[in-house]
Amino acid sequence: MFRTMGRRQLLKTGAAFGAASLAMPSILRAQGDPLVIAHLTPRTGFLGPMGEYAVMAADLAVEEINAAGGINGRELQIVKEDSVNPQTATTKAERLVERPEIAMIVGEISSASALSIAQVTARANKLFINTGANSDTLRGKDCKRTMFHTEAQNAMYVNAEGAFFLQNDMVKGKKWFIVSADYAFGHDLRNGALAFLERNGGEVVGDELIPTDATDFSSYLLSIRSQAPDLVVVNLAGTQTASFFKQFGEFGLELPIGGFDYNSSIAWATGVRDFKGTWPCIWTHQVQTDGSQAFAKAFQAKYGKPAENQAYSDYIAIRIAAEAIKATGGTDTDALIAYLEDPATEFDILKERKGRFDPASHQLLQEVYAVTAVDPSEAPNEWDIFTTSGALPGADAPLEELIKGAVGGTCSF
């Protein structure tokens, strides 16, 4: 028989519940020493805006895991560091792996810094889950047995976006002008774009590598104007992409634009007026699955703005790490690797299909999406300045289709 609670009893019950909630970390600690994951990613510099989203998502994931009882009853803690450049990434990774309580390193966005971290963790036999570096080379000749990737690799983006370009008659017999970031990520993506264009009968009329500290793109934009290509392919990164978009608009260029890398945070920084084209993306807040919408709503509630693709990758990386530790019963690196690379191990990554790691490269095989800028007059708010396609490849195509044609050499663990 149900009874109605009086006000005094209700207040007592509420106070008891609050005290129990506040005591949760203590309860978890009583189960054993905390489990510690290091989060190393750029929080300053040209990749800093994306890194901040990564940190917020990692914090959210840890908070949710602990609220659900931790990992096998143990509290999960996160140690956060800024990896502004490869040298700093190396130094901080070396310090982190020397701490015996740290189980693994998660994070990074720069492909050059990711390679530095991977070399350190390989020597220390510690796990590194790369959440933002796209380079095929990291999954190819520079692969490491101790490195796994939740971020999609360049080949996946080239294949997904390339299919869009082919469907819209933007390749065969067409002239492309390519601008790429002058570091590992850009070199790798440029090589993938050139290989794709050669396979499909296109022509390159411009091919420029742009230093990562460049802020004035006038000379490149003048070359683009003089060549009048059928497509301007932009393979830049971080805040450079937003600056290029804005200057492209200021030059009054009315040319089709697209590329093989995208970040929602950069699209938002660019603004609805200057953001254009269609781009490949690992995830957006518009993905309509129950898991994605639950994550999007939780992120929005905690931070007052939508999650973006970098947030997604770090969020699922922490969840995957927690699942692996729980399944193996500890933080032994060899046991974690065996679990992660087992083809039978699948993960709920908030998409229509589950994800799994490719044993040959440690790339997380997963669906991606195509993002298309909307007309400024059709944008309902500052965030929904693009639309998100259905999952790619189609439901009948194997996920392995997306990693075909990678140009980073062969992986040998």
- Return the CATH number at 193: 3.40.50.2300
- Does any domain span residue 329? yes
Say what the alpha-carbon torsion angle 26, 29, 35, 39 is, to the nearest 10 degrees: 20
pLDDT at 335: 99
Judge if 277 and 312 occupy the same domain: no
Looking up tokens 């492909």 gives 111
* Neighbour-count burial for 285-312, b at 16+ CB within 10 Å, e otherwise: bbbeeeebeebbebbeeebebbbbbbbb
CB-CB neighbours of 1 under 10 Å: 2
Q: How far is CA 64 from CA 68, 167, 234, in A?
A: 6, 42, 37
- Same domain? For 323 and 382 the reply is no
Please check whether residue 311 lies inside any domain of the structure: yes
Instruction: Please state, in angstroms and rounded to a whole number, the distance separating the CA atoms of residues 191 and 200.
Output: 14
Q: What is the structure's pLDDT at 3? A: 38
Instruction: Calculate the alpha carbon distances from 200 to 171, 193, 227, 368 in Å.
Output: 7, 11, 21, 22
**Structure-block tokens of residue 128:** 């590194």
Q: Is residue 95 part of a domain?
A: yes
Q: 393 and 265 in one domain?
A: yes
Triad 159, 165, 167: Cα angle to 5°: 100
Residue located via tokens 């020397």:
98
- Do residues 110 and 258 both lie within one domain? no
Based on the domain organization, do 372 and 340 belong to the same domain? no
Bond before 306 cis per omega within 30 degrees: no
Instruction: Confirm if 191 and 162 have CB atoms less than 8 A apart.
Output: no
Q: What domain range is 18 assigned to?
A: 7-153+287-365
pLDDT value at position 23?
47
- Model pLDDT, residue 16: 42
Query: Does residue 326 share a domain with residue 185?
Result: no
164 and 240 both lie in a single domain: yes
Q: Give the span between the Cα atoms of 109 and 310, in whole angstroms.
A: 8
Task: State how many domains the chain has.
Answer: 2
The CA-based dihedral angle spanning residues 286, 259, 210, 271, taken in that order and rounded to the nearest 10 degrees: -40
Does residue 408 sit within a domain? no
- Would you state the pLDDT for residue 31? 64
Nearest in space to 162 (alpha carbons), one of 171, 154, 150: 171
Tokens of 200: 């499909």
- Chain length of the chain: 413
User: Residue 411 domain-assigned?
Assistant: no
Let me know whether 260 and 331 are in one domain.
no
CB 36 within 8 A of CB 77: yes
- 87 and 12 co-located in one domain: yes
- Whether 409 maps to a domain, the answer reads no
Does residue 413 lie in a domain region?
A: no
**CA atoms within a 13 Å half-sphere pointing along the CA-CB vector of 380:** 2
Rounded to an integer, what distance in angstroms lies between the CA atom of residue 87 and that of residue 54?
Answer: 20
Query: Same domain, yes or no, for 145 and 166?
Result: no
- Structure-token match 């028989």, residue found: 1
Question: Is-contact 55 39, C-beta < 8 A?
Answer: yes
Q: How far apart are CA 93 and CA 89, in angstroms?
A: 6
In-domain check, residue 2: no
The answer to whether residues 149 and 20 belong to one domain is yes
Half-sphere exposure of 45 (CA within 13 A, CB side): 19
Instruction: Examine the domain organization and report whether 263 and 372 are in the same domain.
Output: yes
pLDDT in tens, the chain (413 residues): 333 344 344 344 444 434 444 444 445 544 689 999 999 999 999 899 999 999 999 999 999 999 999 999 999 999 999 999 999 999 999 999 999 999 999 999 999 999 999 999 999 999 999 999 999 999 999 999 999 999 999 999 999 999 889 988 999 999 999 999 998 889 988 998 999 999 999 999 999 999 999 999 999 999 999 999 999 999 998 889 999 999 999 999 999 999 999 999 999 999 999 999 999 999 999 999 999 999 999 999 999 999 999 999 999 999 999 999 999 999 999 999 999 999 999 999 999 999 999 999 999 999 999 999 999 999 999 999 999 999 999 888 999 999 998 888 999 99
What pLDDT, on a 0 to 100 scale, did the predictor assign at position 238? Answer: 85
Residue 200 has a pLDDT of: 95
